[in-house]
């Protein structure tokens, strides 16, 4: 009962987005998992589901950002490996879920775009500090490769796709 209502809503929504995607997650599911009253959703997120999903996407993006403190690729990799195994490969990336929601959820799409941009900027800064060539280019490809690897890892039920990305990208991330 400790956590405030808004936070509980976001946490539950993120969890459900990772399992079932945007359209596979119902308001009733969020209510059940968070134990919050129906009306409270529309108090905190007047625009309804799309706004809730967009806010959850932003929050999830911030969380991952803190995990990869300073853009350390190895920390990101380790965290995703652990998370996938902990949840028995029954989850994906909530930002990917928002990105694939489609035109019915414009706010969610926008949120996904902004999170991806933030991730790229963080990674590019870290790469630049390490003296790596083409930091922006590599940062974008890193985000792409990570997102694809998470998707493959989920259906393969194996962390191999993630590790392979780390191996291959490691060859490119070298000081010039």
* Nearest Cα to Cα of residue 34 among 53, 8, 60, 2: 8
Least distance (Å) between residue 96 CB and a copy of itself: 6
- The reply to whether 106 sits near DNA by the rule CB under 7 A is no
- Residue 114's contacts (CB-CB under 8 Å, 6 or more residues apart) are 58, 61
- The reply to whether 38 sits near DNA by the rule CB under 7 A is yes
Least distance (Å) between residue 122 CB and a copy of itself: 15
Dig out the tokens for 125 from the structure.
Answer: 């800064």
φ and ψ at residue 15, rounded to 5 degrees: -60, -45
- The reply to whether 151 sits near a copy of itself by the rule CB under 8 A is yes
CA 175 – CA 1 distance, rounded (Å): 49
Return residues touching a copy of itself (CB under 8 A): 19-24, 90, 92, 96-97, 99-104, 109, 112-113, 116, 137-138, 140-141, 143-149, 151-152, 154-156, 160-161, 164-165, 167-169, 171-172
């Amino acid at each position: 009962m400790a956590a405030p209502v808004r936070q509980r809503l976001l946490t539950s929504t993120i969890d459900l987005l990772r399992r079932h995607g945007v359209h596979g997650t119902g308001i009733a599911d969020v209510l059940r998992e968070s134990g919050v009253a129906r009306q409270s959703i529309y108090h905190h997120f007047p625009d309804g589901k799309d706004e809730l999903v967009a806010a959850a996407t932003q929050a999830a993006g911030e969380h991952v950002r803190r995990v990869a403190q300073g853009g350390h690729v190895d920390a990101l990799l380790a965290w995703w490996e652990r998370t996938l195994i902990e949840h028995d490969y029954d989850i994906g990336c909530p930002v990917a879920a928002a990105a694939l929601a489609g035109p019915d959820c414009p706010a969610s799409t926008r949120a996904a775009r902004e999170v991806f941009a933030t991730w790229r900027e963080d990674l590019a800064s870290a790469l630049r500090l390490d003296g790596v060539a083409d930091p922006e280019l590599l940062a974008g490809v890193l985000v792409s490769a990570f997102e694809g690897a998470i998707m493959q890892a989920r259906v393969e039920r194996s962390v191999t796709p993630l590790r392979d990305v780390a191996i291959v990208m490691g060859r490119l991330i070298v000081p010039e």
